[in-house]
Amino acid sequence: MKRLFVSLILLIVAVPAWAEIDIQKVTSEKGITAWLVEEHSIPFTALELRFRGGTSLDEPGKRGATNLMAALLEEGAGDLDAREFARRKEELSASFGYGASDDSVSVSAKFLSENRDEALALLRTTLMEPRFDEDALERVRAQVISGLMSDAKDPNTIAGNAFSEIAFGDHPYGSSGDGTIKTVTALTREDIQTAFDNVFALDRIYVSAVGDITPEELSALLDELVGDLPETGAPMPGPADVAIEGGNTVIDFDTPQSVAVFGQNGMAREDDDFFAAYVMNQILGAGGFESRLMTEVREKRGLTYGVYSYLSPKTWGPIYVGRVSSSNDRIAEAVQVIRDEWTKLKEQGVTQKELDDAKTYLTGAYPLQFDGNGQIASILVSMQVNGLPIDYVTTRNAKMEAVTLDDVNRVAREFLDPENLHVVVVGKPEGMEATAGN
Amino acid sequence: MLRHLAPLAAVFALVAPAFGETAEEPVTTYTLDNGMEVVVVEDHRAPVVQQMVWYRAGSADETRGVSGVAHFLEHLLFKATDNLESGEFSEVVAANGGEDNAFTSYDYTAYYQRVAADRLELMMEMESDRMKNLRLSESDILTERDVILEERNQRTDNNPRSLFAEQMNAAQFLNHRYGTPVIGWRHEMETLSLEDALSFYGTYYSPNNAILVVSGDVVPEEVLELAKKYYGVIPANPDLPERIRTTEPPQTAARRLTYKDARVAQPYVSRSYLAPERDPGDQERAAALTVLAEMLGGGTTSFLAEKLQFDNPTAVWTGAFYNGKSLDKTTFDMIVVPSDGVSLSEAEAALDEALAAFMERGVDMEQLERIKMQLRASQIYARDNVDGIGQRYGSALAIGLTVQDVQDWPDVLQAVTADDIMQAARDLFREESSVTGWLMRDTEVTQ
C-alpha cells in the first residue's frame, strides 16, 4: 500500500454480501426430506440428489462398476432406448447429469416450469427403470476404457492415483473409482445392476431444490420421483487406515514438466479444530495469490504456474493434499520450498495480519458462492451429506470469525507433519530420488 | 489463458458453444468523453457486483516475433503501479472478500473482480490505476517470464492434444495471427523483454480501446458517475492504431498433418474448415453454422453420433464445434475418436462418408425443432448464470459487435431455416479449404 485507498481500507469490516437465502425443510408424505429455496423469478428449477457411498461401494474385483452404472443411466430407461431417451430429453429441454465420486453418486437435474411434470416423469424412469441395454453397455464401456487409456499417459492422473494408493492402500479410496482397463472390461450387465441396487436406496438419499417450485409441489415430486426406491442399499465400506509416511516417490515419465502431488494425514470435518485448520490452509496454500505457497513458489521464484493445497475430508479417511508442477530441472527446488513452508508454518505459526486477512477473505467470499439456482442446490445438498445443520449458512461466518491466532498456531503445531509429508513426482525430475521403500 | 487455473480440465472441451444469449436482462450503455464504453447489466438477486474491463487487444494484435506478449502483459498487470505494490491488487480484492483474475484470447484481454456490491468504487479505483500507471522492473520480467513458461508447460507442452491443436491452427492460418498460439511460441516467449511488454501496454491500454462491463446489484446512473470519476479522467490515446490485421488468402489446397507423440494413448482425427464469424448486423451465416455444429456433432442425437457411434459403430466419440465470436475468420471443427481396431484412415473415411450423407439427406426438421427449443430454454437457464452475463457482453463488444447484436442473437438463431443450414454447409465443406490432422502414437505407421 503506497498512497491510495487508505480511507477505504479502514472502512473494511466484514459486511458480507448476503443473499437472502431462506432455506425451508420439506418432508414428503413418505418421509423423504429435502431442503428448498424458493426462487420464482426465473421459470425453472434445479434439483440435486445425492446418494452416499459412491464408487466406494464397488464390490471386490468390480472396480469401476458404480462409475459405469452412473454413466449408463442416461443411455436408455423405461420404454426408451438411448437415442429415444436423448431425443425426448431434448424436446423437453431438461438437463440431467449423473456423476459418481468416492463418497456419493449425484443426480443433478434442471427443468423448465412449463413442462416440469413430463421432465420429472422422464427423470424418474432413469432411477426406477434403467435398461442397461447390452449395446449401450458396450458403447459406454468403450468410452470409459478410452478414458482410462488416456489417464494411463496423463501425468496428473498418474500422480493422483499413485498418491491415493500410498495413502489408502487396499481401501476403495486407494484406487481410481473409474476402475482399470482389466476390471472394466470384465464387468457384466449383472454387475451394473448390482451397483445400481447398492447405491439407489432411501437410507442414503439427500435432496435439495432451488427455483420455481413450492414446498407442496416439491413434497409431491419427492414421493413420485424416489418414493418407490428400496429402503436400504449396500453397507458402507468402513474407515480407511490412513498412514502416510514421509519421503518421495518418483515415477518415470517422459514429459517436460514434472507433476507433483504432496500430502499428509488429514482432519475429519467433525473435528473441533476443522475451522482452525481450514483458516490455516487458507494462509498456507488455498488457491489464491496471497497464500504462502503461491508467494514463495510462484511470485518470488517463478517455479510454477500454480501450486495449491486443500483439506480433503473424505468420509472414511481424511487427507491433506496439494499439487504443483514445474519443469523437470526445477521441480526439486519447488518441492523443497513447499517442505520448508510446511516446517516453517508448524514451527513459527502465522501472524495476526495473515489471520485477519484470511478471515476477511473467507467470510467475504462465502456469499459469492450462492449465485445461481444450480450452484445453491449443490451447496445445500453437500451440507446435508456432511451432516451440517440447516442454519449453517447463517452461522458459518461467525464460526470462521471465532477462530483465534492461538487456535491456528496450535493446530499448525499439532496437525502439520513435515516429517510425514509424502511427495509423488511424475516426470523426469532432476536431482530427486525415490526414497527407499517406495 | 487465465492468470491462474482452477484445478480442473476437460479433455475435449475445445470450444464452448455460444448458446444461451438472452435479451431479457436490463442493459444500459454509455460512452465516456474519452471514448471508453460502459455497459451496465442489472441483476438485483444478490448484493454482488462483477467489474470487467476488456481491452480490444489480444494475441492476434501482437507484432511478429513477440508472440505471447499480450498474455505476458496480462500477468504483469498484477505487479506494481505508481500507487500499488506488486501483488497488492489481488491482496486488496481478497481482503475485501472478493475474487479476481484475468484472461487473454486472440482478440481481447480482460480483467475482472467479483465482490460485494458496495466495494465497486474501490475496484474501479484500482482497475483504472493500472490502465496507465504500471511500474515494471527487470526482476518482474525475469520471474514472471518463468511463470508463463511453466504455464505453457502445463497447458501445452505436457499435453499432446494441446500440441496437436496448436499445429492444426498453425496449418489453418497461413497469414493471420490466429495461427500463433495465444500463450506464444516457446522460443519467442523466452526472449520477451520489458520493452516488449511496455510497447504493447503503451499502444493498446487506453480508455478509447477499453470496455467497462459492470453486472450485478448496481444502479446504472451510479456506475456512470463512478466510471467518469475513475476512468473518465484518463486521456484517450490519440495514436491508437486502427485494428487492421493481415487476412487469409483464399485457401486453394487441402492441408494435412500428422502429429506423433509417445504420450498419446487415444489417437484421433481432427478436421477444420475456415469459417465466417459473427459480424455487426450480419450474424445470419454464423447462426446457421452454430445450428449446423449442433446438428452434426452436438451429442447423442447428432448426425455424426448416429452414423459413427450407433448405425455403424466406428467411433467412441464424435463432435463438431463452432464459435462465431471472433473478430476475423474462424474455424468449424470436427473430431472423430476411433473405436478400438479402427484405423485413423478408416475413421477419416467414415467422417467424409457421413458428411456426404448429410449433404445428400439434408436437414431433419424434427431435429431442427428440438435444437431451437433447446436454444430457447438455454435463454432461461442463462439468466441464472450471473457470471456469464458480463462475459457475454464484453466478449461481443471487444470484437466489434454491439449490444443490439448480442440481444438480437437469440432471434437470429430462431430464424435459421433448413435452407440456411444447407447453404452454410455447402459454403463450408470444400475440400480445398480443409485441414485434416491425425494425432498418433509415435509407434504407429502412417497409413
What the block records as the C-alpha cell of A359 is 478471515
Query: Is residue A202 within 8 Å of residue A229, measured between CB atoms?
Result: yes
Query: Is residue B94 within 8 Å of residue B219, measured between CB atoms?
Result: no
- At B1 the pLDDT is 53
Sign of CA dihedral A58, A64, A69, A70: positive
Write down the mean pLDDT value for chain A.
Answer: 93
Of B214, B230, B246, the position where a domain reaches its end is B230
- The reply to whether the predicted model has a pTM over 0.95 is no
Closest chain B residue to A3, measured at CA? B83
Same-domain status, B272 and B355: yes
CB < 8 Å to A372, chain B: 384-386
CB < 8 Å to B148, chain A: 305
CB < 8 Å to B78, chain A: 289
Residue B42 has pLDDT above 50, yes or no: yes
Separation between Cα atoms, residue A142 and residue A153, nearest integer Å: 17
Write down the mean pLDDT value for chain B.
Answer: 92
Query: Is residue A426 within 8 Å of residue A258, measured between CB atoms?
Result: yes
Separation between Cα atoms, residue A262 and residue A420, nearest integer Å: 10
Same-domain status, B434 and B374: yes
Closest chain A residue to B151, measured at CA? A305
Same-domain status, B199 and B261: no
At residue A263, φ and ψ (nearest 5 deg) are 180, 170
Same-domain status, B312 and B437: yes
Three-state secondary structure call for residue B322: strand
Query: Is residue B19 within 8 Å of residue B326, measured between CB atoms?
Result: no
The pLDDT tens digits of the residues spanning B146-194 come to 999 999 999 999 999 999 999 999 999 999 999 999 999 999 999 999 9
User: SS in 3 state form for chain A?
Assistant: CCCCCHHHHHHCCCCCCCCCCCCEEEECCCCCEEEEEECCCCCEEEEEEEEECHHHHCCCCCCCHHHHHHHHCCCEECCEEHHHHHHHHHHHCCEEEEEECCCEEEEEEEEEHHHHHHHHHHHHHHHHCECCCHHHHHHHHHHHHHHHHHHCCCHHHHHHHHHHHHHHCCCHHHCCCCCCHHHHHHCCHHHHHHHHHHHCCHHHEEEEEEECCCHHHHHHHHHHHHCCCCCCCCCCCCCCCCCCCCEEEEEECCCCEEEEEEEEECCCCCCCCHHHHHHHHHHHCCCCCCCHHHHHHHHCCCCCCCEEEEEECCCCCCEEEEEEEEECCCHHHHHHHHHHHHHHHHHHCCCHHHHHHHHHHHHHHHHHHCCCHHHHHHHHHHHHHCCCCCCHHHHHHHHHHCCCHHHHHHHHHHHCCHHHCEEEEEECCCCCCCCCCC
The pLDDT tens digits of the residues spanning B320-365 come to 999 999 999 999 999 999 999 999 999 999 999 999 999 999 999 9
Query: Is residue A392 within 8 Å of residue A369, measured between CB atoms?
Result: no
Longest CA pairwise span in chain B (Å): 66
Residue B12 is assigned to a structural domain of this protein: no
User: Taking Cα atoms as reference points, which of A241, A285, A245 lies closest to residue A264?
Assistant: A245
What the block records as the C-alpha cell of B168 is 492444426
CB < 8 Å to A90, chain B: 301, 370-371, 373-374
Separation between Cα atoms, residue A220 and residue A230, nearest integer Å: 18
What the block records as the C-alpha cell of A330 is 526445477
Same-domain status, B155 and B295: no
CB < 8 Å to B383, chain A: 42
- At B44 the pLDDT is 86
Interface predicted TM-score (ipTM) of this complex, two decimals:
0.91
CB < 8 Å to B72, chain A: none
Residue B392 is assigned to a structural domain of this protein: yes
- At A288 the pLDDT is 78
Closest chain A residue to B45, measured at CA? A19
Q: Which domain holds residue B294?
A: 255-441
Separation between Cα atoms, residue B43 and residue B51, nearest integer Å: 13
Residue B237 is assigned to a structural domain of this protein: no
Residue B38 has pLDDT above 50, yes or no: yes
Residues of B taking part in catalysis: 74
CB contact (8 A) between residue A86 and residue B85: no
Same-domain status, B182 and B295: no
Residue B245 is assigned to a structural domain of this protein: no
CB contact (8 A) between residue A257 and residue B264: no
Task: Kindly state the average pLDDT of the residues A368-373.
Answer: 87
Q: Band of the pLDDT at B2, cuts 50, 70, 90?
A: low
> What stretches of B42-119 show up as alpha helix (H) in DSSP?
69-76, 88-95
Distance from CA of A90 to the nearest CA of B (A): 6
Query: Is residue B181 within 8 Å of residue B209, measured between CB atoms?
Result: no
CATH number at residue B49: 3.30.830.10
- Percent of chain B past pLDDT 70, that is, above it, reads 94
Q: Band of the pLDDT at B444, cuts 50, 70, 90?
A: low
Nearest to B373 among A39, A91, A373 (CB): A91
Mark A7-22 as b/e (b = at least 16 C-beta within 10 Å): eeeeebeeebbbbebe
What the block records as the C-alpha cell of B184 is 506464444
The torsion defined by the Cα of A123, A129, A132 and A134, in degrees rounded to 10, comes to: -120
Task: Kindly state the average pLDDT of the residues A395-408.
Answer: 95
Q: Band of the pLDDT at A158, cuts 50, 70, 90?
A: very high
Task: Kindly state the average pLDDT of the residues A292-309.
Answer: 96
CB < 8 Å to B158, chain A: 155, 255-257, 259, 325
Separation between Cα atoms, residue B119 and residue B368, nearest integer Å: 46
- Sequence-distant (6+) residues with CB within 8 A of A18 are A367, B47
The pLDDT tens digits of the residues spanning A205-224 come to 999 999 999 999 999 999 99
CB contact (8 A) between residue B150 and residue A82: no
> What stretches of B333-401 show up as alpha helix (H) in DSSP?
344-361, 365-382, 386-397
Residue B168 is assigned to a structural domain of this protein: yes
CB contact (8 A) between residue A371 and residue B387: yes
Task: Kindly state the average pLDDT of the residues B433-440.
Answer: 97
* Cross-strand pairs, B328: none
CB contact (8 A) between residue A19 and residue B157: no
Judge whether A372 is closer than 8 Å to chain B, CB to CB: yes
Residue A100 has pLDDT above 70, yes or no: yes
Separation between Cα atoms, residue B46 and residue B109, nearest integer Å: 27
CB contact (8 A) between residue A87 and residue B301: yes
| Composition of chain B by helix, strand, coil, percent to 5 | 45, 20, 35
Task: Kindly state the average pLDDT of the residues A106-132.
Answer: 97
CB contact (8 A) between residue A306 and residue B91: no
CB contact (8 A) between residue A17 and residue B117: yes
Separation between Cα atoms, residue A378 and residue A370, nearest integer Å: 10
CB contact (8 A) between residue B153 and residue A299: no
User: Taking Cα atoms as reference points, which of A403, A361, A363 lies closest to residue A276?
Assistant: A403
Who wins on pLDDT, B439 or B10? B439
Residue B14 has pLDDT above 70, yes or no: no
Three-state secondary structure call for residue B119: helix
Same-domain status, B43 and B127: yes
Query: From the candidates A98, A368, A369, A401, which should be mutated to test the interface with B, based on the most B CB atoms within 10 A?
Result: A368
Three-state secondary structure call for residue B312: coil
> At B56, which amino acid appears?
R
Separation between Cα atoms, residue B32 and residue B44, nearest integer Å: 25
CB contact (8 A) between residue B150 and residue A83: no
Residues 266-285 of A with CB under 8 A from B: none
Please compute, for residue A7, the number of CA atoms within 13 A of its CA located in the half-sphere on the CB side.
2
CB < 8 Å to A363, chain B: 97
CB contact (8 A) between residue A155 and residue B5: no
Of B186, B213, B230, the position where a domain reaches its end is B230
- At A81 the pLDDT is 97
Residue carrying C-alpha cell 448426425: B303
Same-domain status, B163 and B215: yes
Nearest to B5 among A9, A83, A305 (CB): A305
CB < 8 Å to B99, chain A: 288, 365, 368
Three-state secondary structure call for residue B298: coil
What the block records as the C-alpha cell of B259 is 502429429
Mark A228-253 as b/e (b = at least 16 C-beta within 10 Å): ebeeebbeebeebebebeebbbbbeb
Residue B282 has pLDDT above 50, yes or no: yes
Separation between Cα atoms, residue B406 and residue B25, nearest integer Å: 11
Separation between Cα atoms, residue B18 and residue B14, nearest integer Å: 12
Separation between Cα atoms, residue B204 and residue A332, nearest integer Å: 39
Distance from CA of B297 to the nearest CA of A (A): 14
Residues 162-201 of A with CB under 8 A from B: none
When divided into structural domains, chain B yields a total of: 2
Q: Band of the pLDDT at A299, cuts 50, 70, 90?
A: very high
- Sequence-distant (6+) residues with CB within 8 A of A356 are none
CB < 8 Å to A40, chain B: none
- Sequence-distant (6+) residues with CB within 8 A of B391 are B52
Distance from CA of A4 to the nearest CA of B (A): 6
Same-domain status, B412 and B344: yes
Residue A10 has pLDDT above 60, yes or no: no
Q: Band of the pLDDT at A257, cuts 50, 70, 90?
A: very high
CB contact (8 A) between residue B157 and residue A256: yes
Give the C-alpha distances (Å, rounded to integers) separating B298 from A428, B12, B306, B349: 39, 13, 11, 20
The pLDDT tens digits of the residues spanning B307-317 come to 999 999 999 99
Residue B83 is assigned to a structural domain of this protein: yes
Nearest to B95 among A300, A325, A360 (CB): A360
Nearest to A365 among B78, B97, B147 (CB): B97
Judge whether A4 is closer than 8 Å to chain B, CB to CB: yes
Residue carrying C-alpha cell 504456474: A305
Same-domain status, B333 and B204: no
Residue B303 has pLDDT above 70, yes or no: yes
Same-domain status, B224 and B281: no
Residue B445 has pLDDT above 80, yes or no: no
- Sequence-distant (6+) residues with CB within 8 A of B290 are B17, B18, B19, B322, B324, B413
CB contact (8 A) between residue B147 and residue A305: yes
Query: Is residue A359 within 8 Å of residue A10, measured between CB atoms?
Result: no
Residue B102 has pLDDT above 90, yes or no: yes
Residue B11 is assigned to a structural domain of this protein: no
The pLDDT tens digits of the residues spanning B359-389 come to 999 999 999 999 999 999 998 998 888 778 8
CB contact (8 A) between residue A83 and residue B122: no
Same-domain status, B209 and B279: no
- At B7 the pLDDT is 33
- At B95 the pLDDT is 87
Task: Kindly state the average pLDDT of the residues B276-293.
Answer: 98
Residue B373 is assigned to a structural domain of this protein: yes
Separation between Cα atoms, residue B300 and residue A311, nearest integer Å: 38
Judge whether A367 is closer than 8 Å to chain B, CB to CB: yes
Distance from CA of B152 to the nearest CA of A (A): 9
Q: How many CB pairs under 8 A join A and B?
A: 218
Residue B447 has pLDDT above 90, yes or no: no
Nearest to B5 among A86, A306, A327 (CB): A306
Question: Phi-psi category of A380—alpha, beta or left, where left has phi over 0 and alpha has psi -120 to 50?
Answer: alpha
> At A257, which amino acid appears?
Q
Sign of CA dihedral A144, A148, A154, A159: positive
Domains of chain A: 24-226 (3.30.830.10), 247-427 (3.30.830.10)
* Cross-strand pairs, B440: B260
